[in-house]
Structure formats: C-alpha cells, structure tokens
C-alpha cells in the first residue's frame, strides 16, 4: 500500500509562510518530536495527518544576534549549534548538554522544543526564568508573545496555523545574575526529566533585586509564580530560615505532580522543593 505524502521545502522563509497561509501543515524542524509523536508500529512509516513543511534549512531561522542588548536566537538553531555559539549563556548551554544524546542534539531545535510544549521540555524552565519572548511571524506580520502565554498545556501552544515561531528573545538583564538549572532524570543521557528546576537571582549589595523560579515535569506546564517571587524582592542574602520556609510552603501548595511510569508524585514534589530550598539557602550567588 503506497501512500502519497505532500511535503514542502522552500528556499526562503517568505515562501514557507505563504504556503502556511494557504494550507494547514505539520511543521518539521528537527523532527525529533514530530516523528516520535506520529510513530507507527514496526514496519509502517509514521502517519502525519497533514502536509509537511520542512524548515530546518532556512537560514533566516538560524541566526543568533544581539539587538538592543536582547539576545535573539533563531528558532531553527540546533542544540549542537547553540553549544558552539559564544553568545549563548552558560546556563543555557548546561541545560542543552542534558538533552538526549549528540545525535538528537544535532537535529533538535530550540523552537521545536518550545512548540512541542512537553511538560518535561528540557529548555523550558530556563526560558521561563529568562522571561523569554517568542517572535511569531505570518504573512500578516509579526507579533511577540511571552513564553508563559504561548504554552497553554501539554502540546498546546498559541500558534495560528499560518504562523511560525521564528525567534526566541532573551531580554537584556541589567547587572549580574546568577542562574541555575537542574534536571533530574532516571539516567545521565537519553532521558526525560522526572523533575527540573531553574532558578534566577539578581542581587545588588546583598539585596535581592529580582528572583525567579520555574519547575518542569511537575504539572501540565512549567510552574512559575510571580506572586511568590515578589515576596523575596528586597530581602537580604543569606535569606532567613523563615523566609525560605514561607517560599517553600507557598510552592508546596501549587506544585501538583502525578504518578507515571517514570516516577511518583511524592518523589517529584519532594525533589522539586529540595532543589528550591537548596537554591534559596545559598550563602552567596556568583554571577554566571
């Protein structure tokens, strides 16, 4: 049984966007999620219910540059390319190194990780604490969306079918910041996060100017709470035990993970809070 598959591979972004405007398509960047999502049983090719558009070769989507001090990352930069790029922050590179294995990192893209919107997406906690913005482009023009608004739920994103995420923008941060990322998986490579944590803090003269946290794999989307974060603004480092306890207790209320084949809800919650407490208990924060 031979099936006909329609696939497009245009030389330019504008042609690609025109096609998307004409027809609802499945966009394939690296394909490392799409191919798995539509996998069939042995001996049968994947079944993708829409025409396919390949975008991973489009040079417009592979640029990394600074503009007004913001960092713009092309959506189709592969993880391997980002690891090589001097503009990419150290913390982001550390997170990239925890993704899958080299073969997947050669194909997988940052834009793809966002649009796949997995609850365990490896890049998402850091992008949340960086307050990343996404540039969406269509034949009608551009619009900018915060990542936390873009991702609505597991595999649900706020993208119209004629749009594409073209850039990920990390806004400029004034002063030195300390950023950590911890991924907890069942092994050290080729693993899906059981829990992940990103922490961001900016301090001047021992006082917290800005602090942000995001947790992965403990809910349908990344867990972040600006209300809880605000409670720490202006506090001095090291934080008092009571402050730490208050923050941990606040997250304890909103983190509601599940049991699945990879771990238990109890483990996920305990570890998420451990990592938060550990981050809050640091005596000093080195800029990185």
Partner 1 sequence: MNLKDISTSVPKKDHKGKVSGQLPYISDVKVENMVYGVLYRSPIAYGKIISIQLPNLPDGYEAVGAEHIPGPNYVKIIKEDQPIFANEWVNYIGEPILMLTGKDLDILYSLLNEVKVEFEEHQAIYTLDEAIKQKSVSLVLASYEFGESLENISAIEQGAHQIIEEEYDTGYQEHVYLEPQGMLAVYKDDEIVVQGSMQCLYYIKNALLSALACGDDEVRVVQSPTGGGFGGKEDYPSMMACHVAVAARAVKKSVMLVFDRSEDMLVTTKRHPAKLKYRTALDKEGNILSMYVDIFLDGGANVGLSSVVLQRALLNSAGVYKIPHFHAKGYVLKTNTVPNGAFRGFGAPQSFAGIESHIGHLSKLAKIDPLAYKRKYLVKQGDPTITKGKFRDPILVEEMIEDVLNVSEYKKKKEDFQRLNQQNQRYKKGIGTSLFLHGCGFTGSGERDHIKAKVKLVKSKDDQVSLKISNSDMGQGILTTLCKIVAKELNLPFEDILYPYPDTKEVPDSGPTVASRTTMIVGKLLERAAKKLKNQWQTGVEQEVVEHYVHREMIPWDEKTFTGDAYPAYSWGVNIVEVEVDTLTGNLKLEKVYGNYEVGKVIDERIMKGQIDGGLAQGLAYGYLEKMTSKQGRIQQKSISDYGPPTSLDIVSIESKVFDNPYADGPYGAKGAGELTLIGGAPAVQAAIEDALHTSFQQIPITPEVIIESLWMKEGEEG
The footprint of partner 1 (CB under 8 A) covers 1, 40-44, 101, 182, 184, 186-192, 194-195, 248, 252, 261-264, 266-267, 270-271, 273-275, 277-278
Question: Both ends of the chain: CA-CA distance in Å?
Answer: 56
Tokens at residue 118, please?
A: 């997995």
Cβ pair 55, 203 in contact under 8 A? no
Let me know the angle formed at the C-alpha of 212 by 206 and 214, rounded to the nearest 5 degrees: 145
**Minimum CB distance to partner 1 smaller for 182 or for 210:** 182
Tokens at residue 109, please?
A: 């893209």
Distance in Å, CB of 100 to partner 1, minimum: 9
Q: How does strand 26-28 pair with strand 52-54?
A: parallel
**Minimum CB distance to partner 1 smaller for 150 or for 181:** 181
Cβ pair 144, 134 in contact under 8 A? yes
Count of helices and strands (H, E) across the chain: 11, 13
**Minimum CB distance to partner 1 smaller for 145 or for 273:** 273
**Minimum CB distance to partner 1 smaller for 45 or for 175:** 45
Distance in Å, CB of 274 to partner 1, minimum: 4
Cβ pair 177, 201 in contact under 8 A? yes
Distance in Å, CB of 85 to partner 1, minimum: 23
**Minimum CB distance to partner 1 smaller for 140 or for 264:** 264
Query: Quick one: which of 110, 32, 26, 106 has its CA closest to 74?
Result: 110
For 270, list phi and psi in degrees, rounded to 5.
-60, -45
CA distance 264 to 267: 5
Distance in Å, CB of 191 to partner 1, minimum: 6
* Region for residue 205 given its phi and psi (left: phi exceeds 0; alpha: psi -120 to 50; beta: otherwise): left
**Minimum CB distance to partner 1 smaller for 63 or for 270:** 270
**Minimum CB distance to partner 1 smaller for 209 or for 252:** 252
Distance in Å, CB of 265 to partner 1, minimum: 11
For 162, list phi and psi in degrees, rounded to 5.
-95, 5
For 140, list phi and psi in degrees, rounded to 5.
-85, -5
Distance in Å, CB of 101 to partner 1, minimum: 7
**Minimum CB distance to partner 1 smaller for 1 or for 226:** 1
Distance in Å, CB of 267 to partner 1, minimum: 4
Distance in Å, CB of 193 to partner 1, minimum: 11
Sign of the alpha-carbon torsion through 78, 82, 87, 92: positive
């Amino acid at each position: 049984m031979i099936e006909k598959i329609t696939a497009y591979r245009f030389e330019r972004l504008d042609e690609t966007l025109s096609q998307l405007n004409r027809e609802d398509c499945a966009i394939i960047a690296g394909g490392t999620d799409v191919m798995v999502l539509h996998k069939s049983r042995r001996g049968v090719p994947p079944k993708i219910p829409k025409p396919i558009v390949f975008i991973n070769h489009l040079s417009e989507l592979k640029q990394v540059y600074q503009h007004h001090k913001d960092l713009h990352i092309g959506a189709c930069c592969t993880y391997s390319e980002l690891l090589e790029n001097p503009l990419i922050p150290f913390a982001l590179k550390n997170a990239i190194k925890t993704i899958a294995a080299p073969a997947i990192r050669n194909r997988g893209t940052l834009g793809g990780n966002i649009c796949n919107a997995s609850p365990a997406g490896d890049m998402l906690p850091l992008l949340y604490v960086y307050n990343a913005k996404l540039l969406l482009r269509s034949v009608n023009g551009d619009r900018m969306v915060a990542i936390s608004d873009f991702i609505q739920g597991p595999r649900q994103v706020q993208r119209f079918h004629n749009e594409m995420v073209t850039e990920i923008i990390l806004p400029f941060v004034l002063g030195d910041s300390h950023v950590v990322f911890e991924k907890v998986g069942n092994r050290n490579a080729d693993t899906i996060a059981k829990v992940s944590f990103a922490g961001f803090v900016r301090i001047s003269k021992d006082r917290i100017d800005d602090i942000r946290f995001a947790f992965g794999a403990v809910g349908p989307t990344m867990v972040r709470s600006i209300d809880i974060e605000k409670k720490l603004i202006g506090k001095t480092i090291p934080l008092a035990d009571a402050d730490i306890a208050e923050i941990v207790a606040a997250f304890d209320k909103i983190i509601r993970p599940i049991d699945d084949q990879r771990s238990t809800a109890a483990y996920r919650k305990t570890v998420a809070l451990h990592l938060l407490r550990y981050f809050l208990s640091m005596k000093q924060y080195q800029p990185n």
